């Protein structure tokens, strides 16, 4: 089983309290299900996307927003839906045969960056 969570369940953002709480609960549920279903050979994991360039996000952020998000990502671009699908495919595949109870963050490295500029 592979669920879709969000980085909002790991980090906070204005006006995302309810959404973030729901995604954090989903990630906790994934861990609980992994413990419960593991003895039956069922693996349970989640993918937590960051910003994904979809038509809705495109309308909301525009090209300027895309450029800003790309500059913020260590990999230098915003995720595409295919990037998230690849994470899901990995977790569903035999390559992740001994992975359960995990949340794979697919955010281009945004979440691991120190939040303040260091070029003082």
For residues 45 and 8, is the Cβ–Cβ distance under 8 A?
Answer: no
Q: For this structure, is 98 an active site residue?
A: no
The residue annotated as part of the active site, out of 19, 60, 98, 116, is 19
Contact 100, 40 (CB under 8 A): no
SS3 12: coil
The token pair that represents 55 in the structure block: 């038509």
Give yes or no for a contact between 84 and 49, defined as CB atoms under 8 angstroms apart: yes
Contact 32, 103 (CB under 8 A): no
* Enzyme catalytic residues: 19
């Amino acid at each position: 089983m592979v669920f879709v969570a969000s980085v909002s369940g790991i980090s906070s953002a204005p006006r995302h309290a309810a959404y973030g709480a729901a995604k954090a609960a989903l990630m906790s549920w994934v861990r609980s299900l992994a413990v419960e279903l593991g003895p039956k050979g069922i693996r349970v994991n989640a993918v937590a996307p960051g910003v994904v360039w979809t038509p809705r996000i495109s309308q909301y952020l525009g090209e300027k927003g895309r450029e800003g998000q790309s500059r913020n990502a260590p990999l230098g671009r915003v995720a595409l839906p295919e990037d998230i699908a690849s994470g899901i495919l990995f977790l569903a595949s035999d390559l992740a045969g001994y992975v359960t109870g995990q949340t794979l963050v697919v955010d281009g490295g945004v979440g691991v960056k120190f939040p303040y500029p260091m070029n003082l």
